[in-house]
Amino acid sequence: MKSFEDIVFEQLHIPRENISDVLTPKDVPDWDSMNYLLFIAELEKEYNVTFTMDEVLSAESLGAVRTALKTKGANV
């Protein structure tokens, strides 16, 4: 199973040593709408969860995405 960090690295192109829960779209050049949706889709696939549109749109940082995964029972 891919880790949360693996998926962040692959989809948002953030070097692993720079991945932090405080990162927002303003901090990550590749965090545009398309890459973000691909990131969410990969998380859904890897962790076998489904995000609501509200969850997708309200996540303002990597930490918020991680928290949403945890509330769905994912071990991240």
Domain ranges of the chain: 4-71
The CATH code of domain 4-71 reads: 1.10.1200.10
Q: What pTM, to 2 d.p., does this model score? A: 0.94
Rounded to whole angstroms, how far apart are CA atoms 69 and 76? Answer: 7
For the stretch 44-70, pLDDT in tens is 999 999 999 999 999 999 999 999 999
Rounded to whole angstroms, how far apart are CA atoms 18 and 41? Answer: 22
Residue 40 confidence class, pLDDT cut points 50, 70, 90: very high
